[in-house]
A and B are shown apart, each in its own frame.
Chain A
Amino acid sequence: DVKVTQSSRYLVKRTGEKVFLECVQDMDHENMFWYRQDPGLGLRLIYFSYDVKMKEKGDIPEGYSVSREKKERFSLILESASTNQTSMYLCASSLSWGYTFGSGTRLTVV
């Protein structure tokens, strides 16, 4: 069974901390994505990657960066966490349009 694994289900961090959200897929997919999900706003794309060491900005990249050093791993970095980054973060991978999502990380910044 194909899997996208996000390292933490719940995370609480302090304002100003550097935060790493990790995502690993075991399907040898080329494409990986990071979304944030907020009530009433749906899924908003932060960053995506179509290959190792390659990254593209999504719709809301401000305050975030990403790293993809290996094909199976895509990390989302909050350089200096702020309270408005409190949200559910979802990672996904795909070969084409059929995305497989992880279970999400609910991040609270206090």
Chain B
Amino acid sequence: GQQLNQSPQSMFIQEGEDVSMNCTSSSIFNTWLWYKQDPGEGPVLLIALYKAGELTSNGRLTAQFGITRKDSFLNISASIPSDVGIYFCAGSRNSGNTPLVFGKGTRLSVIA
């Protein structure tokens, strides 16, 4: 099945640094989503994007829905230790009962 191309695969950063990760696809999506998985837990929805070009913030997190509808990025500003986890992008075509397509995840480690 299709998966989104998510990069980077992993990141090691210092506390206080900004982080950027992105997701690309060869096909169009109508909704882009970003999830975070804390160690030992299931993924939790962080941000949902509904319109091409849309820029949405949730605290220190900012995500954008690409103009072509084939990509999205997530930025985290001033990282803190609790940002550690795996971040997944996901795309929805909103067509009938088609499941979300997920990226392989970006594993973020924050060094205090």
Contact = CB atoms under 8 A, between A and B. Distances in A.
Interface of A: 4, 31, 33, 40-45, 48, 50, 56, 58-59, 90, 92, 96-104
A41 B94 CA distance: 24
Interface of B: 1, 3, 6, 9, 31, 33, 35, 40-45, 48, 88, 90, 92, 94, 97, 99-100, 102-105
A18 to B, nearest CB: 25
Contact of A50 (B44, B92, B94, B97): B97
A103 B42 contact: yes
Nearest to B43: A101
Given A42-B104, A48-B99, A103-B40, A98 B48 contact: yes
The CB with the most chain B CB atoms within 10 A, among A41, A43, A48, A102, is that of: A43
Contacts of B31: 97
